[in-house]
Amino acid sequence: MADEIDLYDDRGSVLAKGVPLDAISPLKNAAIKKIISMTIRTGAVDMAGLDKKLKTGAIAGRGMVIRGVGRDIPVLDKVNEIAKSVEDMLRVEPGDDTKVELIAGGKRMLTQVPTARILSDYSVGLTAAMGALTHAIIDVCDVSMWDAPYVHAAVWGMYPQNPDPADGAVKMLVDIPMKNEGPGFTLRNIPVNHLAATVRKRAIQGSALTMILEEAAQFEMGNCMGPHERGHLLDLAYEGLNANNLLYNLIKDNGKGTLADVVYGLVEKAKEDGVIKPKKKLGSGYMVYEAPDPQLWNAYASAGLLAAVCVNCGAMRAGQSVPGCIMYFNVLLEHETGMPGVDHGMAQGASVSSSFFSHSIYGGGGPGVFYGNHIVTRHPKGQFIPCFCASMCLDADTMYFSPARTSALYGEVLGAIPEFAEPMKAVAGAV
């Protein structure tokens, strides 16, 4: 690949110049590989919540209070010893990448299962952490054989009666394999709100982290073979990593404008850079354009799409307009150029159905609970969900399902990890 790009951050400051396009590939970039590794190995534990569960008998989640089984197990009082025991059990050999860290004065705990434990299934990031935590509490707090099952239930939730331990004590960004839409969907099965909370609601950093995961999933889904690999890397570069400062400039130049202003600005920039050129002038005076490099055009269009969402949702301080922004950006772009919209119409099509699911008679979830694994949003190949994340970062808690409501633990625990907090800087530093 001969393409070269300059990488900029979310403030418009240059991070790296003359970067070969394949240097940001999830298969080669060390920071992206680390982000993906931590995504499937890292858990967040609400130790204060676990302590309360055991004391109140609400051991299997909301609505599952068992009267009379509350146990005064001193989880918080002995949290340091518990964390040390968990780390010792998780570690495979000295010096490996096991990590257990207490946060917020011991009320929260981060767990990172060592890579060596992942033999064939990423679920061990969850199961090993829950298993170690269960045994640590029993051992450190000297829990009797009669009360040990209550500890197991508090840590594992309704598992195994329910294969999904969603009510358990350890939370991960990724979900269990049985809830993936199909092969390669693991990294797409992360709710938007979790990612928005993880980056502390910074729109461009949030869309960057989201697109890194979405595009890495495209490699795992088999969509990046042969000539398609370049197209996906260009999309990641321009929409996800602000290549050549295109995304930042579109937002800044149209910050006091409208969605349509972003469309016009993008078209003018594409013409100026030679990405599109006039093909035919119709009798009405309408000019049809063509792209010498269709993949580069799609990358420009993808950056424009995110910029339009940021301008519109930022102006209203609310995320609910994101499906409409995606739809009308693509409609206007197609009308303005005669060229296909983002992902050759996939983004526009998904915007219609996602609007129905979040706003119409089927609505109720809101943009924050969507993910790339959703039956509606699975069709666009990486460019769609970053816009949803940006919209929820810009949302001033107008949505019922806000990041603070659904995902605060992720922000508190995972937001402290540099690669999650500053993904653009991390990727640029690894080229």
- Which residues are identified as catalytic? 362
Half-sphere exposure of 42 (CA within 13 A, CB side): 20
Contact 132, 113 (CB under 8 A): no
d(CA 8, CA 4): 13
Residue 130's Cβ-count burial label (10 Å; 0-12, 13-18, 19+) is buried
Angle between helices 322-337 and 346-359 (to 10 degrees): 150
How large is the greatest C-alpha to C-alpha distance in the chain, in angstroms?
A: 86
How many CB atoms are closer than 10 A to CB 2?
7
Q: Read off the tokens for 280.
A: 């035919």
Task: Please tell me whether residue 20 adopts helix, strand or coil conformation.
Answer: strand
Q: Read off the tokens for 332.
A: 């206007």
**Closest among 177, 325, 206, 207 to 263, alpha carbons compared:** 325
d(CA 14, CA 115): 33
Half-sphere exposure of 72 (CA within 13 A, CB side): 0
Residue 282's Cβ-count burial label (10 Å; 0-12, 13-18, 19+) is exposed
Residues forming beta bridges with residue 127, ordered by sequence position: none
Half-sphere exposure of 312 (CA within 13 A, CB side): 26
d(CA 309, CA 312): 5
d(CA 46, CA 103): 10
List of E strands, 158-236: 170-171
Kindly report the length of the chain. Answer: 431
Task: Please tell me whether residue 54 adopts helix, strand or coil conformation.
Answer: helix
Half-sphere exposure of 341 (CA within 13 A, CB side): 25
Alpha helices in 68-123 (DSSP H): 79-90
